[in-house]
Structure 1
Amino acid sequence: MSDLHDVIPAYTPPDFSIPKLANAPVAQVAPAPADGVVPANFHATSNHPEYVHLGEGRWLLAPESRMDSVLLLRGGELEVVEPRRVRAGDPVVVGRSENGEEGIFIHIHGFHAISTAMPDKFSFRNRGTRETPFSRSYDELYKVLRHDRDEGYIVWVLGPAVAFDSDSRKAMQGLIENGYCHALCAGNALAVHDLEAARFGTGLGQDIYTQSFQPLGHYNHLDIINEVRQLGGISTAIEKLRLTSGIMFACERTRVPYVLAGSIRDDGPLPEVIADTYQAQDAMRVHARKATTVIAVATQLHSIAFGNMVPSYQVQPDGRVRPVFFYIVDMTEFCADKLANRGSAQAEAILTNAQDFIVNLWNNLKLL
């Protein structure tokens, strides 16, 4: 186990003694006019730490702020709620300013060390790209995962590419079985092709090691869907078909919860896939609220969706505030840029092949 201070940066709260905050008004609320409708001038949350002023210098930190929700203030307690979940009469915090003018303060520098270096006015490589060196990112991620394996909640958001390669599939299985995954979020395809590999040794009909196409292999993923549906679900299929490897096998074996969210293009889908978008969102949010580290690999839509659910911080049981780490792993800058543009500013990109990333991670973590 890593020492907390070696891995998790300390949080510096706002200085509420400065005049603009010491003299800030009390935050105002207004009743929701109807179910699923919020009052005019409602305050929309970010994923940064957000405080509301209750009066007499008492500022209350939202326990888990996240993108595009609202704050309900009841009896000195704050709750972050999606607008669709608001009920008529709920006390919704109102105000569009963010620097205390209306008793609302968004704190964006709580985890940032103050730099004494004087950077040049011009420098190369100010933005992460595929040419960026990622050695330090890997080393920090190893430390974070070793710490959070025992004292955090690690959520993986995976695309099917991880299951298409023999080595990365084995590596992901190893990570799950050794405690480096507390929850898995994915779509139908990840589960289908992982089970296809367990049953037939293929991914979309292609051998997951040699890459050779198998006779009638394009039927394999459809056959495994049919078999799983016939048997009633993934757990039963793993038992009845005597499947002994892979990501879904590891989740079932170690009782790691998984959420499979459906999409329009799904084949089947598998029985566990949640077809209703909002039910899937609710199921994913259960894990987003617990997450201390998120690793999203080779899945743009799921990465962006999950990123919008994840706060940039978490309040620990002892009252300490720690960051929520979010790593986005992809071969292009697009997904990382999109996450940043959607408000997930803490997302750190590691731009590489997804399969290489998983194997490299496991080769380093399995040593301890």
Structure 2
Amino acid sequence: MTVSRTVELEGHIIDSGSMARCFGAVMDLGGEFDVEAFEVGRHKHEESYCRMTVSADTDGELRAIVHELNQNGATVADPRDATLEEAPADQVVPVDFYSTTNHPTEVRVDGEWLPVENVEMDCALVVEKGNDGSAPRVVTRVLNAIEAGDRVVTGETGIRVDPPERPRGKGSAFGFMQGGVSSERPSKSLIEEIAAEMRDVRDEDGSVLVVCGPAIVHSGGREALADLVRAGYIDALSAGNGFAVHDLERDLYGTSLGVDTETLEHPRKGHKHHIYTISEIGRAGGIEAAVEDEIVTSGVMYECIRNDVPYVLAGSIRDDGPLPDTITDAVEAQAAIREQAHEADLVLMLSTLLHSVAVGNCLPSTTKTVCVDINPATVTQLLDRGSAQAIGMVTDIGTFLPMLADELLEEV
């Protein structure tokens, strides 16, 4: 005896591939489907519709299939509200809690579809009661932020996800370049596209977040990035302890990880410069104090202080020091990164895999993302995290940043 549910798909489900993915998911998970209704959009602005019954041998198998279909945009054809269960304790969710994607999501509460606020992947959904008669809200909540009594969404009923669709027409690079990575791409034209987007974000009072790796300093891109911060094109910075240390080391000693970035020579005791730098900044009382005391007079961190650009330095087990400004509590660092990510309209991920993954986990799929790295595998991994609007460039960051700065600052 089998169990079954009816699901619906609507939108540009054919050319976007979502219908085929749903059919494949049912079969891969051992189920069967029966298409009850299928209406094909006959021009590029007309949407298609599919209703099908999905069946499986057990309730568990059916739940797994419906969950996978939900992630690909299918909605359970059921007018019921989402199922809510109270969290039994702090940091504990109900067994069948709904785990989010990074795509725009709606939840049906009291007969009304409510948009999920601050969408990000791998979170629970919590329905908060409105105060003073106001409407309820649906928010994402990381598991360690769950509190006893939170009303957590469970199951798949009353949830609909809007995954990205392949754009129609040429559009911008953020559309037609998505999903592919190649070092053969026309770098200059792509940089022009990125620069144009950054101008638009600035003109519309949006926010550009830059995620920085130490290779920016090692490869000679530091001055170009500092110029962009000073010119107002960067609104927030996220990095690890290493990036800030080497940026500051370059100012204090003219080296990055002990190597002179101009001559590529190894000065005597150069291998100690990074730890000397940490000591000097600690003695001053932090980066801001070092800038105010004119101990540090140039670089990316200097420009962030001088231009009130907020930054988050997230620590790791590998860090030397670390700097006084580095957040060493992992949960606290995650919360700070999450706040930056939720405010960003455009994110530049520059030569740092692990830190970019951390930021990318907090981003909705609708946030425009640029990833630049010399390693193709890094770019592919970051773009495959589900951004609907992404550019990937395999190139030297020391070449990319000066070209981007030239494009943006030529009008200044």
TM-score interval, normalised by the smaller of the two chains: 0.7 to 0.9
* 1:297 aligned residue: 350
* 2:32 aligned residue: none
* 2:375 aligned residue: 332
Match of 2:267 among 214, 219, 222: 214
Give structure 1 stretches of 5+ with no counterpart. Answer: 1-13, 117-125, 314-323
Question: For residues 24 and 351 of structure 1, do their structure 2 counterparts lie closer, same or farther at Cα, with a shift above 3 Å needed?
Answer: farther
Q: What is the rounded CA distance, in whole Å, between the counterparts of 1:115 and 1:146 in structure 2?
A: 23
Contact 1:67 1:343 in 2 (8 A): no
* 1:62 aligned residue: 116
Alignment of 1:216-255 (within 5 A): 216-255=269-308
Q: What is the rounded CA distance, in whole Å, between the counterparts of 2:149 and 2:381 in structure 1?
A: 35
Cα displacement (A) at 1:135: 4.3
SS at match of 1:62: strand
Cα displacement (A) at 1:341: 4.5
Would you say 1:26 and 2:69 are equivalent positions? no
* 1:351 aligned residue: 394
Cα displacement (A) at 1:300: 0.6
Cα displacement (A) at 1:25: 2.5
Alignment of 1:74-89 (within 5 A): 74-75=128-129, 76-89=136-149
Cα displacement (A) at 1:89: 1.1
* 1:104 aligned residue: 159
Q: What is the rounded CA distance, in whole Å, between the counterparts of 2:386 and 2:164 in structure 1?
A: 15
Per-residue deviation, residues 275-316 of structure 1 (Å, max 9, x unmatched)? 111111111111111011110101110011110011123xxx
* 1:114 aligned residue: 168
Could you say which structure has the larger radius of gyration?
2
* 1:44 aligned residue: 99
SS at match of 2:118: coil
Match of 1:146 among 195, 199, 206: 199
Cα displacement (A) at 1:242: 3.5
Question: For residues 71 and 136 of structure 1, do their structure 2 counterparts lie closer, same or farther at Cα, with a shift above 3 Å needed?
Answer: farther
Cα displacement (A) at 1:346: 4.2
Cα displacement (A) at 1:137: 2.9
Give structure 2 stretches of 5+ with no counterpart. Answer: 1-45, 52-74, 130-135, 171-178
Q: What one-letter code is carried by the residue in structure 1 that aligns with 2:114?
A: L
The TM-score with structure 1 as length reference comes to 0.83
Cα displacement (A) at 1:74: 2.6
Question: For residues 221 and 146 of structure 1, do their structure 2 counterparts lie closer, same or farther at Cα, with a shift above 3 Å needed?
Answer: same
SS at match of 1:66: coil
Q: What one-letter code is carried by the residue in structure 2 that aligns with 1:155?
A: L
Structure with greater contact order relative to length (CA < 8 Å, sep ≥ 6): 1
Alignment of 1:7-26 (within 5 A): 23-26=78-81
* 1:272 aligned residue: 325
**Aligned residue-pair number:** 329
The TM-score with structure 2 as length reference comes to 0.74
* 1:160 aligned residue: 214
Question: For residues 109 and 264 of structure 1, do their structure 2 counterparts lie closer, same or farther at Cα, with a shift above 3 Å needed?
Answer: closer
Q: What one-letter code is carried by the residue in structure 1 that aligns with 2:151?
A: P
Contact 2:239 2:313 in 1 (8 A): yes
Identity fraction in percent: 38
Question: For residues 29 and 17 of structure 1, do their structure 2 counterparts lie closer, same or farther at Cα, with a shift above 3 Å needed?
Answer: farther
Q: What is the rounded CA distance, in whole Å, between the counterparts of 2:94 and 2:125 in structure 1?
A: 12
Cα displacement (A) at 1:219: 1.7
Q: What one-letter code is carried by the residue in structure 2 that aligns with 1:36?
A: Q
Match of 2:334 among 281, 300, 304: 281
Q: What is the rounded CA distance, in whole Å, between the counterparts of 2:218 and 2:299 in structure 1?
A: 11
Q: What is the rounded CA distance, in whole Å, between the counterparts of 1:232 and 1:198 in structure 2?
A: 17
SS at match of 1:220: helix
